Amino acid sequence: MEGGGFRILEEESTVPQQRYNTVESHGRAVIQMAPMEFGSSVESSTGPRYIKSKLGTKLHTDARMSMASSIGHSSNRSQSDSKLELFGFDSLVTILGLKSMVGEQGQTSASPMDGENAGIAIGHHKETEPKLGTMMGVFVPCLQNILGIIYYIRFTWIVGMGGIWQSLVLVIFCGSCTFLTTISLSAIATNGAMKGGGPYYLIGRALGPEVGVSIGLCFFLGNAVAGAMYVLGAVETFLDAVPSAGFFQESVTVVSNVLVNGTTNRSATTISTPSLHDLQLYGIIITILLCFVVFGGVKIINKVAPAFLVPVLLSIMCIFIGIFIAPRPHASKWITGLSITTMKDNWSSNYQCTNNAGVPDPNGHIYWDFNALLGLYFPAVTGIMAGSNRSASLKDTQYSIPVGTLHATISTTVMYVLSVFLFGALSTREGLLTDRLLCATVAWPSPIVIYAGIILSTLGAALQSLTGAPRLLAAIANDDILPVLNYFKASEGSEPHVATLFTSFICVACVIIGNLDLITPTITMFFLLCYAGVNLSCFLLDLLDAPSWRPRWKLHHWSLSLIGALICIVIMFMISWTFTLVSLALASLIYYYVSLKGKAGDWGDGFKSAYFQLALRSIRSMGANQVHPKNWYPIPLIFCRPWGKLPDTISCHPKLADFANCMKKKGRGMSIFVSIIEGDYHESAEDAKTACRQLSAYIDYKRCEGVAEIIVAPSTSNGFRSIVQTMGLGNLKPNIVVMRYPEIWRRENLTQIPSTFVSIINDCIIANKAVVIVKGLDEWPNEYQRQYGSIDLYWIVRDGGLMLLLSQLLLTKESFESCKIQVFCIAEEDTEADELKVDVKKFLYDLRMQADVIVVTMKSWEAHTSHNNVSKKDDHEVYKIAQSRTRTYISKLKEAAKREGQPLMEGGKQVVVDEQKVDKFLYTMLKLNATILRYSRMAIVVLVSLPPPPLNHLAYCYMEYMDMLVENIPRILIVRGYRKDVVTLFT
């Protein structure tokens, strides 16, 4: 169909009583669905029909067209499929993809929260990079990282130093940590689709962006430093195998007193170690070469990875063969072969001092114990995240990550346990401690093969670190949380080249350090921090058990995750208190920086779920009973646009948020900002959502803790009545209604604003809500405008202490902290003014309030009428004008009621007019206004009690009373309490 992009058809429904126009929509239009009358047929409507859409296009229909599905199917499909045609009119068809259920492709929608793809995938998208399976994507990278440098050149030394039984405890302890972390990792990874970023993505979505970024950046540093460790291990192995390749002189250590099983060996031992400068030179060159390989992308890495893995497996096989056939001819004097005697000798530990190269030396300054061995060994099991780091390159993360990671963890842990017994029964203690490459010495058929395997295995692990770390950094940058990381962004399907260069720079910097034993504890802390984050994430999600928490992995339990997290924390402190505190401080600084500078985002993390459940528990525990005055907090309901005279671009009066902050002590408490849109809900729902977003942005901009609510109602009165009845839960309902005084009412509709104003006040009284009406809001000071003067309270009726509390809250703000409080008590003549003053002073003293008390006497209306005259001061022009206006208005109402033959009505309600009472109320307000002007003309803020609207009284007259009260007072708060005390005398 041309023009509108729609094809309109008519088809008989399966229900004979009515037919519906069916539509296939490819554009944004709303089509009216018209039911057909019973008995009509296709032939009866052969004429063209037009349906008008929001696009303004007339859509032509013709019943003679061939019948087809509104969802894009041909006319020969089954009758059961055609039943879905009715849903073609639902907007959810194009939003959530119902069409894909019957074969039609649509466009994938995006999540409004963080831009992630929606849960329903529609159609097929083009893959921009090759996807990896379980073997090459997870198992091989994990295996290459776990079977790294520590096993080849440090594990025999660890067995010699800690003995068989402590080495066994060490392996099992670290293996249990990684095993439990793998279970937690598998549970989170199988809870839904997983984007790039590996553990950062998992932790961030579980614990929030601040925690995710802080731990993610630390884990990135750990991976980058780990690459340097592997490079140094490869270079050290190469120089040990080919000493002549060194450009600088080797370090030669002669050890004459080596402790063996508690005894001193008097024979001198000469040990050569590569020069530090050679390690640095070769390390930089190799790092640069690996960087070029990583720049080649996933395709080249996948081709190179098997070349690195095969020598690893062959070398391990050669080591085990050499162990079982040892000792061979010309073997070292330390190689005894598998012997029970040797195992007994090596069963216990033999901790001693070493030099920087790890060579036992009585004069060495490094003393080794179990905790130190723990820090040295743990990097050997830190490769379990290598597969999840490449989550964006996996075909099926929910299957590959748990299967590949768990198999790699279990297989390597079993191998390490067997190696402890085999190495402990193979060589003497002296050989374990002094032969840095005992694995190569014992391997079959020649150490050269093992040297090549060790070098390739460590380079493969380095390659995996240099591959995973840049992708992790790019994933953090792509989430657009920290603007400083924008340089490391990488578009989907492209290689993170800038992140790779930055990772290589860090790796080169660590290579320059050149000390393997100094680097490994640093790596350990970063990895343990990440593992603890993964376990805590799973623990939190499992404990909260939100409806969206449905992992496919069935072996996890919250207790296992908690034990895994505790083990990680224990290992951190066992290794080094200093390194632990430094790593935690670094993570805390990043967290604080993200909180300040990061962009807010809602990832549906576990903390928000925890806050939600905690809030529910708190609300249930509070119940709906009356709150004790000591625990009372103001929860103001800010009426943003009660009179509808602000421009549409302004969501709230600019000074209302400033005033709302003045009602909270040190920011404690919650404000609810409410606005009412008059109209039909179906027509104005989208406008309300837009206005709510604007109001929320305004609240955040003003740094006022609160929430925004927009209500659509036929009128302001009806909308407020709904709000005051339903807003809030339990004792967290708003208890104070705050609104601006309608100073514009006389220039606008004379019936709408007075009736709405009175209706709001009456609704608050019935709902037992306090009321604070602000007059002079335009001149209300902000937080930077310091005020000097007095805050005057005209305490007329008992209000539960609300007016006193508001004055104290004002003093807590910087704008009013230099002011003093004056309390004016209004009393009629012939009363005991002195006794009243004493009582009020005593009451304020018990309330811990410092204020000056002033008792003001005022003539009553009866005294005024008995003298039958009004003094010159009382004969105020404002009073006369107000009296004339009210009488004129009343006369018009009476004339209209007389013509219609009905009782006196205002706003659809019957009212009673007593002109003498009207004059009395006007006089009372005049006297009160005169008193305020006499004593408080220079006051910063005046607080006065709000009189309730008289029952069945004219709303217009009540507005005249209020105008009389606030006349010529620049800034006044009209306050009405409610039937609850908000202050208490008692401790």
Strand partners, 775: 972
pLDDT on residue 451: 82
Q: Which of 478-487, 521-530, 647-656, 930-939 has the lowest mean pLDDT?
A: 647-656
Interacting residues of 619 by C-beta distance below 8 A, sequence separation 6+: 729, 730, 731, 732
State the pLDDT at residue 566.
93
The mean pLDDT of 477-491, rounded to a whole number, is: 84
* Residues in a beta bridge with 440: none
Smallest CA-to-CA distance from 538 within 189, 119, 212, 197 is with 189
Averaged pLDDT for residues 676-700 = 88
pLDDT band at 167 (very low <50, low <70, confident <90, very high): very high
Helices (H), 830-941: 833-846, 861-866, 877-900, 915-936
Higher pLDDT: 790 or 848? It is 790
Q: Can you tell me the distance from the alpha carbon of 949 to that of 956, in angstroms, rounded to the nearest whole number?
A: 11
Spatial distance between the Cα atoms of 660 and 777, rounded to a whole number of angstroms: 12
Say which CATH class 781-861+919-986 falls into: alpha beta
Can you tell me the mean pLDDT for 338-344? Answer: 91
**CA–CA separation, 239 and 129 (whole Å):** 38
Please write down the long-range contacts of 111-118, taking CB distance under 8 Å and 24 or more positions apart: 113/601, 113/602, 113/603, 113/604, 114/479, 114/601, 114/602, 114/603, 116/195, 117/193
pLDDT of 116 above 50: no
Q: Are 480 and 494 in contact (CB under 8 A)?
A: no
553-602 confidence digits (pLDDT tens): 766 678 888 999 999 999 989 988 888 888 889 889 988 888 887 776 66
pLDDT value, residue 344? 92
Q: What is the mean pLDDT of residues 367-395?
A: 82
- Best mean pLDDT range from 206-210, 861-865, 882-886: 882-886
pLDDT-derived band at 772 (thresholds 50, 70, 90) equals: very high
pLDDT at 169 over 50: yes
- What percent of the chain has pLDDT above 70? 76
User: Strand 706-713 and strand 20-25: pairing?
Assistant: unpaired
Give the rounded distance of the alpha carbon of 463 from its chain centre: 34
Q: Start-end ranges of CATH 3.40.50.620 in the chain? A: 629-774, 781-861+919-986
- Average pLDDT of the chain, as a whole number: 76
Q: Is the dihedral of CA 614, 619, 623, 628 positive or negative?
A: positive
For 702-720, write each residue's pLDDT tens digit. 888 888 888 899 988 888 8
Task: End-to-end CA distance of the chain: give it in Å, rounded.
Answer: 79
Mean pLDDT of 544-560: 74
Look up residue 388 and give its DSSP letter: G
Q: Model confidence at 52, in pLDDT bands (50, 70, 90)?
A: very low
- 830: pLDDT confidence band, cut at 50, 70 and 90? low
pLDDT tens-place string over residues 295-310: 877 677 777 777 777 8
In the chain, ranges of CATH 1.20.1740 domains? 134-193+230-259+267-521
**pLDDT tops 60 at residue 223:** yes
Which class would CATH give 134-193+230-259+267-521? mainly alpha
Q: What are phi and psi of 859, to 5 degrees?
A: -65, 145
Q: DSSP alpha helices (H): ranges in 514-655?
A: 516-544, 558-575, 577-597, 606-622
- For domain 629-774, give the CATH number: 3.40.50.620
Strands lying side by side in the sheet with 6-11? 20-25, 6-11, 58-61, 49-52
Lookup: tokens for 606: 């576990």
pLDDT at 219 over 80: yes
Rounded distance, CA 88 to CA 22, Å? 7
Sequence-distant (≥ 6) Cβ neighbours of residue 58 within 8 angstroms? 3, 4, 50, 51, 52
CA 502 – CA 473 distance, rounded (Å): 10
Rounded CA-CA distance 554/540 in Å is 17
Comparing 184-198, 587-601, 849-863, which segment has the lowest mean pLDDT? 849-863
- Summarised one tens digit per residue, pLDDT across range 718-770 is 888 888 888 877 777 888 899 889 888 877 666 688 888 888 999 998 888 88
Is it the case that residue 916 has pLDDT exceeding 90? no
Residue 72 pLDDT exceeds 70: no
At 911 the pLDDT is: 79
CB-based burial label for 436 (10 Å; 0-12, 13-18, 19+): buried
> What tens digit of pLDDT does each residue of 612-629 get?
777 777 777 766 666 666
What are phi and psi for residue 647, nearest 5 degrees? -60, 150
Determine the average pLDDT of the residues in 276-293. 88
Calculate the alpha carbon distances from 804 to 199, 633, 798, 799, 948 in Å: 54, 14, 11, 9, 19
The rounded distance, in Å, linking the Cα atoms of 165 and 158 is 11
Among 144-158, 485-499, 571-585, 865-879, the least confident range = 865-879
With contact defined as beta carbons under 8 Å apart, do 143 and 381 qualify? Answer: no
Whether 173 shows a pLDDT value over 90: the answer reads yes
Q: Counting every residue, how long is the chain?
A: 987
Whether the model pTM is above 0.75: no
